[in-house]
Amino acid sequence: MVAFCPFCANILFVEENVSGTLQFTCNVCPVYFPVKKNISYRSYYKLKEIDDVLGGDDAWKNVDSTEERCPKCGHNRAYFLQLQTRSADEPMTTFYRCCNNECNNNWRD
C-alpha cells in the first residue's frame, strides 16, 4: 500500500511517533495520519522447475559408446551424446557418461 498526502500529493512515509505507534507523515506538509491496522504482509515466490537439458536418463538409453577415458575413475569407455547448445555456426557439444555403472560420471568436451 502506498499512501499519498491529500494536500501536496507527495508520498507519505511511515515513522514511529513519541508514543511508540506508527503514523504516516508527509515531509512537506505538517500533517500525519495514524496507522490503525497492520499493513505488512509476506509473499513468497514460487521457483520454476528446472528441466534437465540432456533429457534425463531416457536420453542415455540408446546412445553409442566410444573410447574416452573417464576423468573420475579412469575407465576407458564412455557413452556419448551430441547436442547443438550454441549457435549454428559453432560446433556441437559432446556430452559423455562413464560406462562404468558404479561411476556414471558426466562430463562434456
Q: Output the known binding site for Zn(2+).
A: 5, 8, 26, 29, 70, 73, 98, 103
User: C-alpha grid cell for residue 88?
Assistant: 549454428
Cell of 28: 512537506
Q: Can you say which residues are annotated as belonging to the binding site?
A: 5, 8, 26, 29, 70, 73, 98, 103
Give every CB contact of residue 97 below 8 A, 6+ residues apart in sequence: 60, 78, 79, 80, 81, 104, 105, 106
Instruction: Report the DSSP beta bridge partners of residue 14.
Output: 24
